[in-house]
């Protein structure tokens, strides 16, 4: 196995998780939990793919995927923020809805092909030792968009005035309201922005990383993994990006064990065709559980992380929960 | 400006009426979407009705599909009542099916064991395996504050791989993705088995698992409404703070609820393999554990209503198999859940439309005093941030169930 190639592929597939988890970070930092990421990603994936298929324009597909993600998030936002429904249930409903709708809309899309988004190398940078081939060689343009998004998201949240307002509505909505910040409107904006990124994540999957439509197997739990990564990353976009890349790089390496005959002189029990290979398939999910457990632990210990008003609808003049 | 005002009195008819209305609206929206993608909504709905309730034979098939939904629906309803989001009924169902199968496939009992011993053993094994699968997220949540939504979901995927390992590997029959059939002693009695006594039962596949479901619903009702433990669970669900002041050990209750919830879902898996499939194989569940979430919500977490909701969704799953496009049943389920939660808002609040756009969005009680939260003094967001002990797990776990009170 060529570790460099695996790392490069990890960066590409990690971009999917990166978009989704950073989108969720924006929503959660504003105080709104959105468990509909899986559904929004599936809808973005199917909308982007079918648009690209019928128009021949993958960029248009990406755009449509983002709009579809935004519309679904808008639905969740209105229900959870303005109608004060339970955010957990509303988010779950969004995932059910997105999954079912994507399967309906995706009917007949299996076994088709579209031209994927262009992959480019960055001159000069791709000549760097080690990091060059991994980060800057023949990567999809969306991967570079991911590189740009991470510092931008961090800077926006932590260092700008609008970012201060974002954190305020998530940590202390009443105080933000007293400052004249429109709490509900701002929350809605960031929930919708999260949806845009989730839709983009879906399109990244079907138009750049793993082109094609495979029914609801297309996203296969990545939306939930992204939600888990947010906790692991303690709501920080940079840690979320590192987690996304790391997770995506480890997964194929583990699954790559299926291709090796012997491990340390012992016959490999994980060869394809042998049933023990299913234990390898469990590992990514077990890894998420472990990561979330570790993230929860340290967040509890340091009393940091979860935005204080996360999951609590804001109503002026009422106690917050 | 649209404004929401909390209702002071809720008429008794309102909640059932809105639930019914929500389902109707969901069906209309779904119909519009089916029409939009080129289907015929009226024909689809008529087909669902016919293929699920049209004759005694298909009604029996509907009950077969409803059986696992009743048990998994009860599993979710119990956990949700305490505002524990157990989304892992699917995995607990699979483990239950595995545990029951283990009794006859390892085998743990000698061949020829009579059904009267074998079936209770398999019930216990299935419930124990499901309970263990439920305990994992329960203990992680209670001891480490780990968000149970993520863990239960992830464990669903793990459970699926676990089942695949056994049916592709040690228990595979001739390399197929299924075990050998269970001995007939392990089959749950079906109505058709009594055709000699009641000829009308000939060919009907409804099995004893339905009785398990009905008994479980009755027991769960007694447990929730008539026992001290059940009262404590409802109290925790309604107001964790009050429960804590009352000295209730929430972590312990949480673990027990997760175990019972997992056992119920495990029993569903046992009933499915023993009553309907008669062997362990890949794809024994078309998503019962996920539909259970919606069943529980539609039933407002009431055991009796879970049975009714489960039969409706059993019909949808049964008849939906033949409807094109294939995602329609899942889509209808998602839309129903959405209209239900919007309906809930209408039950809790009156919607007022103000002309002139006064500044208050939902500023109901204090008329929008800009400083808000006055009654709570220093903790306008509901006292949540004031300390770790006020939110045992929530601080770390995004979306940990938040007190509703």
Does the beta-carbon distance from B327 to A311 stay under 8 Å? no
Residues of B in contact with A103 (CB under 8 A): 325-327, 330-331
The answer to whether residue B208 is domain-embedded is: yes
For residue A274, name the pLDDT band (cuts at 50, 70, 90): low
Tell me which of A272 and B185 has the higher pLDDT. B185
Q: How many CA atoms lie within 13 A of A242 on its CB side?
A: 9
* pLDDT average, residue stretch B145-166: 92
Q: How far apart are CA A142 and CA A126, in angstroms?
A: 16
pLDDT: is B107 or B389 the higher one?
B107
Does residue B347 register a pLDDT over 50?
A: yes
Measured CA to CA, the distance from residue A22 to residue A297 in angstroms comes to 21
Whole-model pTM over 0.80: yes
Contacts of B393 in chain A (CB under 8 A): 296
Q: Residue B207: which pLDDT band, with cuts at 50, 70 and 90?
A: very high
DSSP assignment of A48-78 = HHHHHHHHS-HHHHHHHHHHHHHHHHHHHHI
Output Rg (C-alpha) for chain B, integer angstroms: 23
Inspect the interface and report whether the beta carbons of A174 and B372 lie closer than 8 Å.
yes
A172 and B380 in contact by Cβ < 8 A?
yes
- Split at pLDDT 50, 70, 90, the class of A310 is confident
Looking at the predicted structure, is the pLDDT value of residue B285 above 60? yes
pLDDT at A98: 93
Contacts of A75 in chain B (CB under 8 A): 338
Chain A residues near residue B366 by CB distance under 8 angstroms: 317-318
Contacts A278 to B, Cβ<8 Å? 161-162, 164-165, 168-169
pLDDT score for A312: 81
pLDDT at A300: 64
| pLDDT tens per residue across span A86-107 | 898 899 899 989 998 998 888 8
Instruction: Report the first-to-last Cα separation within chain B, whole angstroms.
Output: 26
**What is the per-residue pLDDT across B296-306, written as a single tens digit (0 to 9) for each?**
999 999 999 99
Q: Are A26 and A152 in contact (CB under 8 A)?
A: no
pLDDT at B10 (0 to 100): 80
Residue B151 falls within a domain, yes or no? yes
State which residue of chain B sits closest to A309, comparing Cα positions. Answer: B381
Cβ neighbours of residue B150 closer than 8 Å, sequence gap 6 or more: A224, A227, A228, A231, A288, A289, A292
Q: Is the pLDDT of residue A139 over 90?
A: no
pLDDT in tens, B181-204: 999 999 999 999 998 888 888 889
Percent pLDDT > 70 in chain A is: 88
Residue B248 to residue B245: CA distance in whole angstroms: 8
* B51 within domain boundaries: no
Q: Which of A57-66, A182-191, A246-255, B34-43 has the lowest mean pLDDT?
A: A246-255
DSSP string, B41-76: HHHHHHHHHHHHHSSHHHHHHHHHHHHHHHHHHHHH
Q: Which of B150, B330, B395 sits opposite A306 (nearest CB)?
A: B395
What distance in Å separates the CA atoms of residue A19 and residue A26, rounded to the nearest whole number?
11
Res. A295: pLDDT tops 90: no
Q: Is the pLDDT of residue B169 over 50?
A: yes
pLDDT score recorded for residue A4: 77
Report if residue B6 sits inside a domain: no
pLDDT at B328: 85
DSSP label of B189: P
Contacts of A305 in chain B (CB under 8 A): 395-396
When pLDDT is cut at 50, 70 and 90, the band that residue A265 belongs to is: low
pLDDT at A41 over 90: yes
Confidence of residue B395 (pLDDT cuts 50, 70, 90): very low
Q: How many CB atoms lie within 10 A of CB B37?
A: 16
Give B-chain residues touching A306 at CB under 8 angstroms: 394-398
Stretch (H or E) spanning B96: helix B89-105
Interface probe with B: pick from A182, A219, A317, most Cβ of B within 10 Å: A317
> pLDDT grade, residue A188 (50/70/90)?
very high
For residue range B124-140, list pLDDT tens digits in order.
Answer: 999 999 999 999 999 99
More confident residue, A269 or B397: A269
Q: Do A292 and B334 touch (CB under 8 A)?
A: no
Q: Which of A179, A194, A166, A157 is CA-nearest to residue A316?
A: A179
Task: List pLDDT tens digits, range A207-231.
Answer: 998 888 888 788 888 999 999 899 8
Contact B372, B54 (CB under 8 A): no
With a pLDDT cut of 90, the percent of chain B lying above it is 60
pLDDT given at position B358: 45
Least confident of A129-138, B229-238, B354-363: B354-363
Mean pLDDT for chain B? Answer: 85
CB contact under 8 A, B396 and A295: yes
User: Which residues lie closer than 8 Å to B20 by C-beta, 6 or more apart?
Assistant: none
CA distance A217 to chain B (A): 12
Architecture of the domain made up of A3-302: Orthogonal Bundle (1.10)
Q: Report yes or no: B272 and B187 within 8 Å, Cβ to Cβ.
A: no
pLDDT of B358-376, one tens digit each? Answer: 444 444 443 333 333 333 3
Residue A268 has pLDDT above 90, yes or no: no
Contact yes or no for A104 and B325 at CB 8 A: yes
pLDDT band at A68 (very low <50, low <70, confident <90, very high): very high
Cα distance between residue B46 and residue A19, in whole Å? 42
Contact B381 A312 (CB under 8 A): yes
Q: Determine, yes or no, domain membership for B84.
A: yes
**pLDDT of B278 above 80:** yes
Question: What's residue A262's pLDDT?
Answer: 59
Q: Which residue has the higher pLDDT, B404 or A264?
A: A264
The answer as to whether B322 is a domain residue is: no
- Residue range of the domain that includes B294: 67-307
Which has the closest alpha carbon to B67: B266, B258, B268, B234? B268
For B6-33, write each residue's pLDDT tens digit.
Answer: 888 888 888 889 999 999 999 999 999 8
Average pLDDT over residues A180-208: 95
Reported as a single tens digit per residue, the pLDDT across B20-69 is 999 999 999 999 988 888 888 898 899 889 999 999 999 999 999 999 99
Q: How far apart are CA B222 and CA B145, in angstroms?
A: 30
Stronger pLDDT, B356 or B249, i.e. the higher one: B249
| A174-178, A198-202, A317-321: range with highest mean pLDDT | A198-202
Among A83, A295, A321, whose Cβ lies nearest the Cβ of B402?
A321
**pLDDT at residue B162 tops 60:** yes
Q: Which of A42-56, A300-314, B323-337 has the highest mean pLDDT?
A: A42-56
Instruction: Look over chain A and give the mean of its residue pLDDT values, rounded to a whole number.
Output: 87
Instruction: List CB contacts of A193: < 8 A, sequence separation 6 or more.
Output: A23, A26, A27, A70, A73
List of long-range contacts for A242-247, beta carbons under 8 Å, 24+ apart: A243/A17, A243/A21, A243/A291, A244/A14, A244/A15, A244/A16, A244/A17, A244/A18, A244/A21, A245/A10, A245/A11, A245/A14, A245/A18, A246/A10, A246/A14, A247/A14, A247/A17, A247/A284, A247/A287, A247/A288, A247/A291
pLDDT at B218 over 80: yes
Task: Give the per-residue pLDDT at A320.
Answer: 46
Residue found under tokens 């343009």: A141
Q: Give the closest-approach CA distance of A139 to chain B in angstroms.
A: 30
Q: Which residues of A touch B151 (CB under 8 A)?
A: 289, 292
Residues A173, B381: C-beta atoms closer than 8 Å:
yes
Pick from A87, A315, A319, A282: which is nearest to B394 by CA? A87
Instruction: Flag if A285 and B157 touch (Cβ within 8 Å).
Output: yes
**Residue of chain B minimizing CA distance to A89:** B341
Contact criterion met (CB < 8 Å) for A305 and B395: yes
**Dihedral of the CA atoms B307, B310, B312, B315 (nearest 10)?**
-130
Q: How many domains does chain B contain in total? A: 1
Structure tokens at A185: 């409107």
Residue B345 binned pLDDT confidence (cut-offs 50, 70, 90): confident
B391, pLDDT greater than 70: no
Share of chain B above pLDDT 70, in %: 87
Q: Does B349 reside within a domain?
A: no
User: Contact B325/A310, CB-based, under 8 Å?
Assistant: no
Q: Inform me whether the pLDDT recorded for B344 exceeds 90.
A: no
- Is 60 exceeded by the pLDDT of residue B401? no
Q: Residue range A154-179: average pLDDT?
A: 93
pLDDT of residue B403: 38
Q: Contacts of residue B166 in chain A, CB cutoff 8 Å?
A: 275
Per-residue model confidence (pLDDT) at position B356: 55
């Amino acid at each position: 196995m060529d570790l460099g190639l695996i790392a490069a592929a990890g960066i590409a597939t990690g971009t999917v998780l990166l978009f989704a988890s950073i989108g969720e970070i924006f929503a959660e930092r504003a105080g709104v939990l959105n468990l509909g990421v899986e559904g929004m990603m599936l809808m973005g994936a199917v909308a982007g793919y079918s648009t690209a298929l019928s128009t021949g324009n993958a960029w248009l597909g990406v755009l449509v995927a983002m709009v579809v993600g935004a519309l679904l998030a808008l639905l969740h936002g209105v229900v959870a923020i303005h109608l004060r429904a339970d955010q957990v249930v509303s988010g779950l409903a969004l995932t059910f809805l997105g999954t079912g709708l994507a399967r309906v809309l995706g009917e007949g899309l299996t076994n088709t092909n579209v031209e994927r988004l262009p992959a480019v190398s960055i001159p000069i940078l791709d000549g760097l030792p080690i990091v060059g081939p991994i980060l800057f060689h023949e990567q999809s343009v969306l991967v570079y968009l991911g590189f740009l998004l991470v510092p931008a998201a961090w800077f926006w949240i932590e260092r700008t005035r609008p970012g201060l307002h974002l954190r305020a509505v998530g940590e202390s909505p009443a105080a933000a309201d007293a400052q004249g910040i429109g709490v509900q409107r701002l929350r809605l904006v960031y929930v919708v922005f999260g949806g845009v990124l989730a839709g983009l994540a879906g399109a990244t999957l079907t138009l750049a990383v793993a082109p094609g439509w495979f029914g609801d197997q297309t996203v296969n739990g990545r939306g939930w993994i992204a939600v888990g990564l947010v906790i692991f990353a303690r709501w920080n976009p940079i840690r979320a990006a590192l987690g996304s890349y790391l997770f995506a790089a480890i997964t194929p390496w583990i699954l790559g064990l299926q291709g090796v005959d012997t491990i340390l002189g012992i016959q490999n029990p994980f060869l394809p065709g042998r049933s023990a290979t299913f234990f390898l398939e469990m590992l990514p999910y077990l890894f998420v559980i472990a990561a979330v457990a570790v993230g929860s632990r340290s967040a509890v210990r340091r009393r940091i992380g979860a935005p204080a008003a996360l999951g609590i609808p804001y109503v002026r003049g009422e106690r917050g929960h | 400006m649209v404004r929401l005002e909390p209702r002071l009195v809720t008429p008794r008819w309102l909640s059932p009426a809105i639930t019914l209305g929500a389902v109707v609206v969901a069906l209309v929206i779904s119909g519009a979407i089916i029409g939009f993608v080129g289907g015929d909504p009226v024909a689809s709905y008529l087909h669902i009705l016919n293929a699920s309730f049209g004759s005694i034979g298909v009604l029996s098939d509907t009950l077969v599909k409803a059986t696992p939904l009743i048990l998994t629906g009860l599993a979710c309803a119990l956990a949700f009542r305490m505002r524990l989001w157990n989304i892992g009924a699917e995995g607990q169902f699979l483990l239950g099916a595995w545990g029951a199968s283990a009794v006859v496939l390892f085998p743990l009992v000698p061949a020829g064991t009579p059904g009267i011993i074998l079936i209770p053993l398999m019930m216990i094994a299935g419930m124990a395996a499901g309970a263990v699968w439920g305990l994992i997220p329960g203990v992680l949540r209670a001891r480490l504050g780990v968000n149970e939504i993520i863990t239960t979901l992830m464990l669903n995927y793990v459970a699926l791989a676990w089942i695949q390992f056994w049916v592709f590997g040690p228990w595979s029959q001739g390399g197929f993705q299924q075990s050998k059939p269970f001995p007939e002693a392990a089959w749950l009695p079906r109505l058709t088995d009594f055709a000699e006594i009641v000829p009308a039962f000939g060919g009907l596949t409804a099995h004893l698992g339905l009785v398990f479901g009905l008994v479980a619903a009755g027991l769960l009702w007694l447990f929730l409404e008539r026992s001290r433990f059940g009262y404590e669970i409802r109290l925790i669900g309604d107001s964790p703070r009050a429960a804590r002041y009352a000295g209730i050990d929430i972590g312990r209750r949480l673990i027990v609820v997760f175990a019972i919830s997992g056992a119920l879902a495990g029993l569903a898996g046992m009933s499915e393999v023993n009553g309907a499939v008669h062997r362990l194989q890949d794809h024994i569940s078309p998503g019962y554990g996920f539909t259970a979430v919606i069943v529980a919500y539609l039933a407002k977490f009431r055991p009796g209503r879970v049975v009714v909701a489960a039969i409706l969704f059993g019909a949808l799953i049964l008849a939906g198999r033949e409807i094109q496009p294939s995602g329609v049943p899942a889509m209808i389920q998602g839309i129903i859940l959405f209209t239900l939660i919007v309906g809930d808002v209408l039950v809790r609040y009156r919607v007022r439309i103000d002309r002139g756009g006064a500044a208050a969005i939902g500023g109901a009680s204090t008329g929008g005093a800009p400083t808000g939260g006055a009654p709570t003094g220093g903790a306008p967001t509901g006292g949540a941030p004031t300390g770790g002990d006020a939110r045992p797990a929530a601080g770390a776990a995004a979306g940990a169930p938040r007190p509703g009170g």
